[in-house]
Amino acid sequence: MTRRSHLRGWIAFYVAGALCASQALAQSAPSIVMASTTSTEQSGLFAHVLPAFKQATGIDAKVVALGTGQALDMGRRGDADVLFVHDQAAEEKFVADGFSVKRWPVMYNDFVLVGPANDTAKTRGKDIASALQKLASAQAPFISRGDKSGTHAAELRYWKQAGVEAKGAGYKECGCGMGPALNMASSLGAYVLTDRGTWLSFKNRQDLQILVEGDKQLFNQYGVMVVNPAKYPHVKADLAQKFVDWVISPAGQANIASYKVGGETLFFPNANK
């Protein structure tokens, strides 16, 4: 073997060894599974927040984006380490049932009713109950997520508060996330309830506009919970708690506040209020 070929052999051996070492290190990096809502992912928030979390802690957060109801079901099965969701009543029941020890508030934004610019149902204003009554009376096209998400739960609550049982022939459930529901509303010229964060980052608006906003009933609070390791010993509760501690810390809260689209803030931190 020549000296040059011998050197090449050592270089190949070194490179292979370094590659194996780096792969082993990547595989051993700590990680958690987070069950969360489609709004936090589709709004782009997690793409902004999670790299900062990893830089601060070295922990990877692997997100499964679902409706809040499905995310809570993941927690009840022990299939997630931490939940980041937005249905406070359901979250409090999750804690009361022993699936988590505590719920922490993290941030808020609001829901808005969007629909076609010509607003044939005359919903425009600040009263969500009145708007829904007009939609039902006009048999206007309305896309409901129908997926047991936090947004779907809020929508059903608003229909109930409006005293509307028969929602009209235009009411359709898509059983889908916020982005697909907005796409359907855009293509059909329909009305839809959405969180403001997803709306601000939504690109396929076509003729849709915000028609109802500013009603205090449209407040949208997000919370975070660690799945109880007493029920599921395999849950990485210590790592999940590090995420909670970071996201409610001044650094985590500032990171949330710094996320903007088109100069507009999508989520407002309120962990310590």
pLDDT tens, position by position, 77-115: 999 999 999 999 999 999 999 999 999 999 999 999 999
Q: How confident is the model at residue 219 (pLDDT cuts 50, 70, 90)?
A: very high
* Contact by Cβ (8 Å): 86, 221: yes
Q: What are phi and psi of 24, to 5 degrees?
A: -65, -40
Residue 96's Cβ-side half-sphere holds a number of Cα atoms within 13 Å equal to 6
Provide the percentage of residues in the chain whose pLDDT is more than 70.
90
Mean pLDDT to the nearest integer, 177-182: 93
pLDDT for 28 equals 66
pTM: 0.84
d(CA 124, CA 32): 43
Query: Which has the closest alpha carbon to 6: 14, 184, 176?
Result: 14
Which tens digits make up the pLDDT trace of 184-214? Answer: 999 999 999 999 999 999 999 999 999 999 9
Predicted confidence at residue 7, as pLDDT, reads 47
pLDDT at 29: 81
User: What are the structure tokens assigned to 64, written together?
Assistant: 């499964």
In a 13 Å sphere around the CA of 109, the CA atoms on its Cβ side amount to 24
Which band of pLDDT confidence, cut at 50, 70 and 90, is reported for residue 32? very high
Where are the alpha helices (H) located in the chain, listed in sequence order? 3-28, 38-42, 45-57, 68-77, 88-96, 128-138, 150-161, 178-188, 196-201, 237-247, 250-257
Which pLDDT value is given to residue 124?
98
* Mean predicted confidence (pLDDT) in 158-167: 95
- Mean per-residue pLDDT of the chain: 91
Residue 187 and residue 67 in contact, taking contact as beta carbons nearer than 8 Å: no
Render the burial of 80-101: b for 16+ CB within 10 Å, e for the rest.
Answer: bbbbbbbbbebbeebeeeebbe
What's the pLDDT score for residue 272? 83
Compute φ and ψ for 105, nearest 5 degrees.
Answer: -70, 145
Q: Which SS3 state, helix, strand or coil, does residue 31 take?
A: strand
Q: Which amino acid belongs to residue 84?
A: F
What pLDDT band is residue 174 in, cutting at 50, 70 and 90? very high
User: Is the predicted pLDDT of residue 16 greater than 80, yes or no?
Assistant: no
Burial class for 106, CB neighbours closer than 10 Å (0-12, 13-18, 19+): buried
Closest CA to 184 of 175, 194, 174: 174
pLDDT bucket at 129, cuts 50 / 70 / 90: very high
Residue for token pair 């109950």: 129
Cα distance between residue 188 and residue 246, in whole Å: 42
Q: What is the pLDDT of residue 2?
A: 55
Output the pLDDT for position 42.
87
User: Is the pLDDT at 34 greater than 60, yes or no?
Assistant: yes
- Residue 163: is its pLDDT beyond 90? yes
